A and B are shown apart, each in its own frame.
Chain A
């Protein structure tokens, strides 16, 4: 049997099926609050603050209303937060306390099935948030071009990337305290990744740093699509997330194998 055969049984859907059944009993408040959070930001900042600001220039050089500038960023952030929540806290609990993966890996499932299944679940929550938010954007006239439709798969890719990296990191953590570091990283990344104002406000060295962060790539990708200002750089953003997905999957699979099959 090939090496991949012992890691992957092509049955990640059973893990998704399990997640769907389990989510019936999950906390509705958490799910709903995750949905409304970006909408509140959009209303408060986009329209409240936006009425003082007027228009902003995007990376691509287009002048857009402030709300249309931050809405795609909030969309990317919502995808990130949804994916991270499910792939970190939930996964940590399942590894450490529920022994869920121990049970799964005693069957024919391989660690890659478990990783793919859990990441798909995490991604689908992020995806649901994104669809809801895009409908709100459409209603408020913040989708400025037809390419906004492509923002949906883009957001799924962003969620996939964050979920994969989130699960990989979580599988290496030992205590709840270490989990706090994840939030410690996420919040400043949200605030400073050219989400609420253009990256050009920073001095050049800071710009370089921000451009190395994953969220900036997500924000720029989605913003380009919803404002209709396309550029070849977007392929770099996509590639960035593809690499995140691959790296995340490889490390998660490896770690699950060490934890439960060695």
Chain B
């Protein structure tokens, strides 16, 4: 077992009395792609800022690359790449200049930074935008530039806080593709998201966080196995009929979850659950059998959906 590159034990952060992060414990190994999954306000960004050595923990132990961020902030930051939740690109500088200047902040020699800037623009598919103003870029391009900027110091670990929130589906896929390449090249990725599909695409392992605490931990597949069924049958009855329908559905599948707009039946075999529904003469407006996802895991763990 290689030594972990990140190791958090009882990590805690409070703002006055408010507990934003409550006794988180987890480890990330080199080359792994690790996710923090949770709804808004779960404490993901707060955790990421502590990992990035820009926010001091209130208590607990934290080691990044074997160093304590309280004592070795600059050293740790020199080996991290950070993509914050809100882009903080330098809008007074052009696209390529953003990379040059950021590299200089790390004290990397000019010639080296210049070469890396060109490579990274290529990687981020922004080579033809090198001289553009930052404000002229689309949301997806800004995000890719922020990622390129985070890579300018050739970091061992890349921290990404909600890398694709607010992007359209196509831009998200482009970004996932880039992140996947980094992962293949061996960069350790730590990312937060409140998108299940993103977590399933990118994370080898993840923790589900809510209200500052870890609810579950594992690979996407193992979490689904443990906290959900193989398949899910979704039925819509119209909001006022949901409650009645649930009574009639009792006993079908492993478990039934009622949401405001639909009823979910968790079952190993969704099709046979659906057959049982129609055998009982229960009529739904729409029905859908799908594979179980992390969304269902979160619902099971918290009784709530992730993105309302």
Cα–Cα, bound, A105→B82 (Å) = 11
Q: Which residues of A contact B54 (CB under 8 A)?
A: 102, 105-106, 260-261
**Residue among B52, B75, B89, B105 with max Cβ neighbours from chain A (10 Å):** B105
Q: Which residues of A contact B104 (CB under 8 A)?
A: 11, 14, 17-18
B91 within 8 A of partner (CB): yes
The answer to whether B74 and A110 touch across the interface, beta carbons within 8 angstroms, is: yes
Q: Is the CB of A104 within 8 A of B74?
A: no
A18 interface neighbour in B72, B78, B93, B107, Cβ under 8 Å: B93
Contact A18 B73 (CB under 8 A): no
Say whether A60 faces chain B, with CB atoms less than 8 Å apart. no
What 0/1 pattern do residues 1 to 42 of A give for CB contact below 8 A with B?
100011001010011011001100110000000000000000
B73 contact set on A, CB distance < 8 A: 6, 261
User: In the complex the two chains form, is A108's CB within 8 Å of B88's CB?
Assistant: no
Number of A-B residue pairs having CB atoms within 8 Å of each other in the complex: 77
Using known A-B contacts A11-B105, A17-B101, A21-B97, determine if residue A108 contacts B74 with beta carbons closer than 8 Å. Answer: yes
Are A18 and B90 in touch, CB under 8 angstroms?
yes
Q: Do the beta carbons of B153 and A107 come within 8 Å of each other?
A: yes
Query: Is B140 an interface residue when CB atoms closer than 8 A count as contact?
Result: no
Chain B contributes a number of interface residues (CB within 8 A of A) equal to: 29
**In the complex, what residue of chain B is closest to A8 when comparing beta carbons?**
B74
Say whether A22 contacts B90, CB under 8 Å: yes
Contact of B55 among A1, A25, A103, A262 (CB under 8 A): A262
Q: Mark B185-212, 1 if CB is under 8 A from A, else 0.
A: 0000000000000000000000000000
**Beyond A14-B105, A108-B105, A110-B74, is A22–B56 a contact (Cβ under 8 Å)?**
no
On whether the beta carbons of A98 and B90 are closer than 8 Å, the reply is yes
Contact B86 A99 (CB under 8 A): yes
B168 within 8 A of A: no
Shortest distance from the beta carbon of A93 to any chain B beta carbon, whole Å: 10
Contact in complex: B88, A9 (CB < 8 Å)? no
Interface check A100, CB cutoff 8 A = yes
Q: Does A155 contact B (CB under 8 A)?
A: no
Which residues from A are CB-within-8-Å of B90? 18, 22, 98, 100, 103
Structural contact, B93 and A22, CB atoms closer than 8 A: yes
Q: Is A109 an interface residue (CB 8 A)?
A: yes
Is B275 an interface residue when CB atoms closer than 8 A count as contact? no
User: In the complex, are the beta carbons of A21 and B102 less than 8 A apart?
Assistant: no
| Contact status A11-B92, CB under 8 Å | no
Question: Which residue from A6, A25, A98, A99 sits with its C-beta under 8 Å from B74?
Answer: A6
Chain A min CB distance to B99 (Å): 12
CA distance A130 to B153 in the complex (A): 39
The answer to whether B71 touches A1, judged by C-beta atoms less than 8 angstroms apart, is yes
B84 at the interface (CB under 8 A from A): yes
Query: When chains A and B are docked, how far (Å) is the Cα of A15 from the Cα of B92?
Result: 13
B88 touches which of A17, A26, A102 (Cβ 8 Å)? A102
In whole angstroms, what is the CA distance A26 to B92 when docked?
A: 8
Residues of A with C-beta under 8 A to B74: 1, 5-6, 9, 108, 110
Q: Is B116 an interface residue (CB 8 A)?
A: no
CA distance A99 to B93 in the complex (A): 14
Q: How far is the CB of A121 from chain B (nearest CB, A)?
A: 12
Min CB distance, B21 to chain A, in Å? 15
- Interfacial chain B residues near A14, Cβ < 8 Å: 101, 104-105, 107
Asked if residues B105 and A1 are in contact (CB atoms below 8 Å), the reply is no
Q: Which residue of B lies closest to A22 (CB)?
A: B92
Q: How far is the CB of A229 from chain B (nearest CB, A)?
A: 44
A106 to B149, CA, bound (A): 12
A1 with B101: in contact, given A14-B107, A22-B92 (CB under 8 Å)?
no
CA distance A146 to B282 in the complex (A): 102
A169 to chain B, nearest CB (A): 23
- Chain A min CB distance to B158 (Å): 13
> Is A21's CB under 8 angstroms from B91's CB?
no
Contacts of A108 in B (CB 8 A): 74-75, 77-78, 105-107
Q: What 3 pairs across the A-B complex have the smallest Cβ distances? A: A22-B92, A99-B88, A14-B104
A-B CB contact pairs (8 Å), 30 listed: A1-B71, A1-B74, A6-B74, A9-B74, A11-B105, A14-B101, A14-B107, A15-B105, A18-B90, A18-B93, A18-B104, A18-B105, A21-B100, A21-B101, A22-B92, A22-B93, A98-B88, A98-B91, A98-B92, A100-B88, A103-B89, A104-B105, A107-B78, A107-B102, A107-B105, A107-B106, A108-B77, A261-B55, A261-B56, A262-B56
